[in-house]
Structure 1
Amino acid sequence: MTDSLELLVRTRMPYGKYKGTPIADLPGNYLNWFAREGFPAGELGRLLALMHEIDHNGLKHLLAPLR
């Protein structure tokens, strides 16, 4: 799980309005949009879904030690 959390901090959004923003820093409303419309396939979708769960459950503090 720690590897996935590290990827949230290191991986940047590759496209769209927040291109270049670390996935860990994406705003909740953007993550909610993906949750409603569908996450992309593959690793990016998995990371976005994980970040959505973390944000939705108020657990962003778990990422602080990884920064």
Structure 2
Amino acid sequence: MHGPRAGLGLLGPPRERLPGNHRLDAVRGHPLDMRGDIDAAAESYRVAAARTAGEPERAV
């Protein structure tokens, strides 16, 4: 299996694997966007930005 669905399957629920870490939420946003789930992608990016420690990470 390839594509966004396969990538999301590999990531699993980010909060369970790395609680409080912004990176998996940020990475999760991309395949959600690719499969057309814009609302879920935007939420993943918002959560990631809120969890970052500094402005440079939030800007990304």
The two structures share one fold, judged by TM-score above 0.5: no
Q: Which has the larger radius of gyration?
A: 2
- TM-score, normalization by structure 1: 0.35
- TM-score, normalization by structure 2: 0.37
